[in-house]
Every structure is written in C-alpha cells, then in structure tokens.
Amino acid sequence: MKNIVNINEYLVWRGDIPINKDYPFNEVDSMVLARFSYLIFSKIEMNKKETIGSISNKMKDFKNEEFLYNGDKELITNLGKSSRFNDLIVTDYIENVDEEIEKQFGAITIHLPKHEMYISYLGTDFTINGWKEDFNMAFMDNVPCQIAGKEYLEKIANKYNYKNIRIGGHSKGGNVAIYSAITVSKKIQNRIIKVYNYDGPGFSKNIINKYENDDIINKIETYIPQDSIIGRVLNHKEKMTIALSYEKGILQHDIFSWQVSKNDLVKSEKYSSESENIDQALTNWLESTTNEQRKVFVNVIFELFYSTNATTFMEISKNLKTSLPLILAKYKEISSEDKKDVADMIKLLITCYVDNIKNQEINKLSNIKTKYITKTKRKVKEIDEKYFMKLRKNKNNIIEENKN
C-alpha cells in the first residue's frame, strides 16, 4: 500500500470487505457515494432499479475524457469490482438543468444494508449556468438547486418510509445536502442518521438563524481541506473537520486529492495561512457590501461569459480567439455605472485581502517583539540570579564582618 491513499485506492485496498456490523459504513464510504452522483448517468440507459455493478458495466466502454472529471472513470471501474459496493441498489436518478431560472441540480439514491439509504447530491458541473447558481448564493438566501434538494429528500423519504437516511454531497452538492436536511419536517429529520458535506459552502446568516436547530445541526459534519476556499465561503454552524489533501490551493477542492485511511479521512490539525487569509478577506468583503451590490457584480461578470454562447467554461477556453472578441464587445455595452460598480467591488476585495495580510504581518511583528522583550527580561533575571545576587550576598557578608 502506498503512503498516500485516496478513495480510488481505498476501493482497491478495502473494497473486498462488505458493509456489515464488523465493518460498518464509514466516512470514507460516504466520500465514495458523495462522488458517485458526478458520474455520467445521462449517457447510459438508467432503469428504475440498478446496482452499482450494473452501472459500472454500462459505463465500462466510455473513455476517461467522457466523464465529468478526472478520476471518475477509475471510480466507477473500481466500484464495479468492489464487493463492498457493487451489489448496492441504485434508484431515483434525477438531473435537471434550467438555464432560465439558473438551476443545475442532480441527485441519486443508493440503498445500504440495515434499512438505510444514502442520498447523494451532485455538485457543480462545468456549465456556466451551474457556476452562476453557485455565485448567486452570495446575494440570495436560497437558490433553485437547494429547493429541488429539499423536494427530492421529501420524495425519497416518503417513498421509502421504512428506511433511515444518510445524505451527502461534494461542493455545491454538500451545501444542498445541508439545506435539504435543515429545511425538511421534524419527522424526516428524526430519520436522518448523518449529513456529510465535502467542501461545500455555507449559508447566509438569515438561513442559519431561521433554521437553527441543534437536533439536526448535531447530525451534520463538514469536511474541508487545509487550503479550503470554497468550503469556507459564508457561514457554518455545524461541526467542521479539516481533511488532509496532497494538492495545493484551489486544487484541494478535488476530492480525489484527499487522503484516507481504512476507516476515515486523514485529518489536518489546522487550516493553512493562505486559506485563513482568503477566508478573512471574503468575510470582510461580504460584510462590507450589500446584496444588491453583489448581485450587480455577479450578473455583470456572467453576462460576459454568456455573451460567448458557450455552455461551459471549457468551450470558452478552447475557443478563446472567438470568445474573447465577444466578451470585449459585450463589455463595451455595459453601462458606465455598472462598470464602475464592478471595478469598485474588485478593488474592495483586493483591499480586504491586502489589509488582512498587513494586519497579520503587524501582529507577527508585535508577537515577535513581545516574545523578544519577555525572553530578554527572563535572560536578565537569570543573569542577575546567577551572578549579581551572589556578588550582592558576598558584599553583604563583608559588610557584616566589618561591623563585627
């Protein structure tokens, strides 16, 4: 076994062990199923009831580049060979993209032993529409995929009303998992075993305050890597666990870079300084701007992307010669007021980041100064006790002797 193990290697290493009372469902299994919803179900014929093994067989001839992200082809191949997963029944696949209301949603249900089921919510895909919905969270309390997530949970809970529920998702899917859990009825919440959020963003303070409920919050856990950016956006009330990734920066958002052991994730003790800096800058930026300002900012930026008529960012990058003139032409059409607002928002974000770095450096210097002064005082005291106290004592003894 290599020193670094991700979920694909976990499937090879531990995949021959069935889920049972001796080897129960764990947080690595949850990572696997949270990732499962990213697979290309729309490219195969999905029956009402499949198994993970049958899906693996249907996807075996697809090339790696036909999957959404690198690692997914390997994932479904390993799942098909895994005794732990291949016989699990899969139902109720749904994927819904609506450009008019800026919605990108997907979900699937995997049925586990012991009358349990796992609802896996799809995260953000490559579409511009999907990313626009993510950015809308900066100024909207709830977005269409969250509402769809709640409705899906209610439907599945009622359809299989004899089963307890686990819910998970990566990125936006993790956010949808939490939103669905905190907004459904108490009756459904009582059946929820745990909610797993893998580097998904948080929520506005309005949502946190509206749905604050310790009974369900205590069932939620958010896992984020040490350099996390996306997972630290907005507010979290639930338990936070720092996972160890072997990548750096934004690349840590890739769940295949997270290190795992035989039963759980490999943990990190603290966030990186870069993650702390970006998180503080974004927090200050959000607190210094209004919903309306952020709405204008996001809408203008994405108007430029939509002007290319591309559906994905990959299409834009592959056709820069065509896309760039369209973006520049669209930019010229934007009102001078909106241009100024966007420029001001970008300037503010940069200022928040730079000011945070400055404050950190000032604090570091202050701490160094305090430590130096403390250390110097301690050293002076040690010298005084070691040498000068002895001289003073000898001097006092001589004085006493002379008196006598």
Question: How many angstroms separate the CA atoms of 106 and 128, rounded?
Answer: 16
Q: Where are the domains of the chain?
A: 7-272, 284-383
Residue 381: band (very low, low, confident or very high) from pLDDT cuts 50, 70, 90: low
Report the run of H or E that residue 323 belongs to, with start and end.
Answer: helix 320-333
Q: Beta strand 116-121 with 103-112: parallel, antiparallel or unpaired? A: antiparallel
What pLDDT is recorded for position 273? 86
What pLDDT is recorded for position 387? 58
Mean residue pLDDT across the chain: 89
Whether the per-residue pLDDT at 119 is higher than 90: the answer is yes
Residue indicated by tokens 């002797």 = 401
What pLDDT is recorded for position 62? 96
Measure Cα distances from 315 to 109, 124, 321 in Å.
31, 16, 11
What pLDDT is recorded for position 1? 43
Measure Cα distances from 76 to 198, 220, 301 in Å.
19, 27, 36
Instruction: Sheet with 239-243: list strands edge to edge.
Output: 49-51, 89-98, 103-112, 116-121, 164-170, 192-198, 220-225, 239-243
Residue 389: band (very low, low, confident or very high) from pLDDT cuts 50, 70, 90: low
Q: Tens of pLDDT along 223-266?
A: 999 999 899 999 999 999 999 999 999 899 999 999 999 889 99
Question: How many angstroms separate the CA atoms of 248 and 226, rounded?
Answer: 9
Which of 155-164, 196-205, 240-249, 343-352 bottoms out in mean pLDDT, i.e. has the lowest?
343-352
Radius of gyration of the chain (CA): 28
Whether the per-residue pLDDT at 332 is higher than 70: the answer is yes
Q: Tens of pLDDT along 263-279?
A: 899 999 899 888 888 88
* pLDDT > 70 fraction of the chain, expressed in percent and rounded: 88
pTM, two decimals, is 0.84
What pLDDT is recorded for position 125? 83
Which of 19-23, 121-125, 327-331, 385-389 bottoms out in mean pLDDT, i.e. has the lowest?
385-389
Dump the DSSP string for 221-285.
Answer: EEEEETT-SGGGSSB--SEEEEEPBSS-GGGGGSGGGB-B-SSSBPB-SS--HHHHHHHHHHHHH
Which of 175-179, 316-320, 353-357 bottoms out in mean pLDDT, i.e. has the lowest?
353-357
Determine contact, residues 124/172, Cβ cutoff 8 Å.
yes
Whether the per-residue pLDDT at 197 is higher than 50: the answer is yes
Options 1.10.3470, 3.30.450, 3.30.460, 3.40.50; CATH of 7-272: 3.40.50
What pLDDT is recorded for position 146? 97
Whether the per-residue pLDDT at 190 is higher than 70: the answer is yes
Token digits of residue 218: 């205590």
Whether the per-residue pLDDT at 363 is higher than 60: the answer is no
Residue 36: band (very low, low, confident or very high) from pLDDT cuts 50, 70, 90: very high
Report the run of H or E that residue 170 belongs to, with start and end.
Answer: strand 164-170
Whether the per-residue pLDDT at 366 is higher than 80: the answer is no
What pLDDT is recorded for position 279? 87
Which of 13-17, 138-142, 350-354 bottoms out in mean pLDDT, i.e. has the lowest?
350-354
Task: At 121, give phi and psi (nearest 5°).
Answer: -100, 135
Of the candidates 64, 50, 65, 66, the one whose C-alpha atom is nearest the C-alpha of residue 109 is 50
